[in-house]
Amino acid sequence: MGAKKTVSEKELNIQIGERLREIRENLGYTRDEFADILCVAEGHYKRYETGATELPMYKVKILHNKLNIDPTYLIIGEMEDSFDLDVFMANSTREQRDQLFKRIFEYMERLLVKI
């Protein structure tokens, strides 16, 4: 039988799960869609969000690679860097700006479809 999780491990899983749910909702995804991204059943994914099951690091990497989710924020709840739009606009190429706007429009479309 496996070792019993300490309270701090359980609390950490709950905090990560809460941030995972918040990120998913902010991006406009359903639980089922996030489960598909992580290649798990929806019921198993729900256990990540509730903190009942620990989110493996390789799943964190999948979220980072596919959705640009900041692993530092997901794990410890702190943003690694802040984003300053004025600085970005002044120091980016047209291609980088176009890519940003494309992502913003895709995000907005996704949210509007959910309404």
Average pLDDT over residues 52-78: 93
Domain that holds residue 47: 1-81
* CATH number of the structural domain spanning residue 54: 1.10.260.40
Which range is least confidently modeled, 14-18, 30-34, 53-57, 82-86? 82-86
Do 64 and 101 belong together in one domain? no
CA dist 82 and 85 (Å) reads 10
Structurally, how many domains does the chain consist of? Answer: 2
CA dist 27 and 24 (Å) reads 5
Joined tokens for residue 93:
């190429």
The DSSP code for 4 is P
Do 43 and 94 belong together in one domain? no
State residue 91's pLDDT score.
Answer: 85
Mean pLDDT in the chain? 89
Do 71 and 89 belong together in one domain? no
